[in-house]
Amino acid sequence: MTAPLVEVANLTYDYPGRRALDDVSFALPAGSITALVGPNGAGKTTLMRCLAALDEPLHGSIRLLGEDALADPPATHRRLGYLPDLFGLYERLSVRRCLTYRAWAQGVPKAEVAGAVAWAAERVGLADRMKEAAGTLSRGLKQRLAIGQAIIHKPPLLILDEPASGLDPEARIELARLLRDLREGGMTLIVSSHILAELEDYSSHLMIIDQGRLVSFEPLSGERRPAGGQMAVELRFLPGSGDLSAALAAAGYPATVSEDRATLTLPDDPAAAAAALAALVRAGLPLVAFAPARASLQSAYLERVREARR
C-alpha cells in the first residue's frame, strides 16, 4: 500500500461560539479523488481551508507528504492547489497573464514559467484562448481558468470547494473529465459538492461530515450490497398497477414499494434472480424493468448519515 498523501489527526476548529470541526481524523490515499459531502454547515469548507493551511485549527495535526502542513503555511501552499467556492479572477488580464501571474506567485522558477503556463492551459483546455480577457470567458471557462491557476505549480494535492456549482450540464461533464485526467496525471484530489450523482462519476472515495464530525470515509470501488451474500434488485412496474405490495407478497416476493418501483432482496445468485423474474411474470405483475440495484453515492450517503444520527 502506498503511504497516505495527507494524514489528519484529531482536527478541531472553533469559530467564536461554534465548533465547526470536532476531532476529525483520516488518511487520504495518494492518487485518490475524495468526494467530500455533508449538509450545509457541516464543516466542509472549514476542513478544506485547514487542509490548505489557510486556517489554523484549535487542536490536531495535518501532515502533507509526511511533513507538518501547519508549521510553515507558505511552504504548504506551494505543495497544494486550492479552489475556493467563491473564487475571483483578474478579469481584465488575459488567460495567459492570469496563469503567468499565478506561476510567479507560486514561486515557479522564472525559466519554467512559460512551460508551466502552456502545460496548465493545455490541461484545462484553454490553450486556444490565451489572449482572451478572463472577464469575457463563460462561467465554465472561468472555472477552468481558476483550476488552471490552482494547478500551475503541479501540486501533488488539489482541493476544490464546490467546483461544479453554477456550471451547465455540458460544463459539468467536462469538469469531471478534467478531474479524472488530473488524477491520471498523478494528483490526489479532494472535491466538495452537493451534487452526488456527479461526484459518483469520478470519485474513488466518499468522505461524509455532519455537524463537524467525520461520519465515514470509505473507498467507493467495493460493491455496496446487502450483507450476507444477498443482492438488491430494482423493479419498475406500469404506473397505476394497483397494490404492488400485496401483489408482490402474494407472489412470494415481499418488497419495499415506492409508487411504481420496488426493491427486492434476493440471494446473490443469477438462478435466484431468474426464478424471481419468472415468478413475478407468472403472477401477472406488469413489470417494465428488472435490474440489479446500482449502489449510488446518494443512497450510501443517506444511509451513513441516518446511521450516524441514530
Q: Kindly list the residues in this chain that would bind ligand ATP in the complex (CB under 6 A).
A: 15, 18, 20, 38, 40-46
Coil, strand or helix at 289? strand
- For residue 229, the minimal CB distance to ligand ATP (Å) is 37
Nearer Cβ to ligand ATP (98/189) = 189
Pick from 8, 4, 5: nearest CA to 62: 8
**What number of other Cβ atoms are within 10 A of residue 94's Cβ?**
16
- For residue 86, the minimal CB distance to ligand ATP (Å) is 10
8 A C-beta contact, residue 182 and residue 123: yes
- For residue 162, the minimal CB distance to ligand ATP (Å) is 7
Give the helix ranges, DSSP H, for 30-94.
Answer: 44-51, 73-77
Report how far residue 238's alpha carbon sits from residue 172's, in angstroms, rounded to the nearest whole number.
Answer: 33
Report how far residue 157's alpha carbon sits from residue 187's, in angstroms, rounded to the nearest whole number.
Answer: 6
- For residue 47, the minimal CB distance to ligand ATP (Å) is 7
Nearer Cβ to ligand ATP (45/265) = 45
Nearer Cβ to ligand ATP (17/109) = 17
Strand extents, DSSP E, 65-124: 67-68, 80-83
Nearer Cβ to ligand ATP (40/258) = 40
- For residue 309, the minimal CB distance to ligand ATP (Å) is 16
- For residue 199, the minimal CB distance to ligand ATP (Å) is 14
8 A C-beta contact, residue 25 and residue 212: no
Nearer Cβ to ligand ATP (13/119) = 13
Longest distance between any two alpha carbons in the chain, whole Å: 76
Nearer Cβ to ligand ATP (43/57) = 43
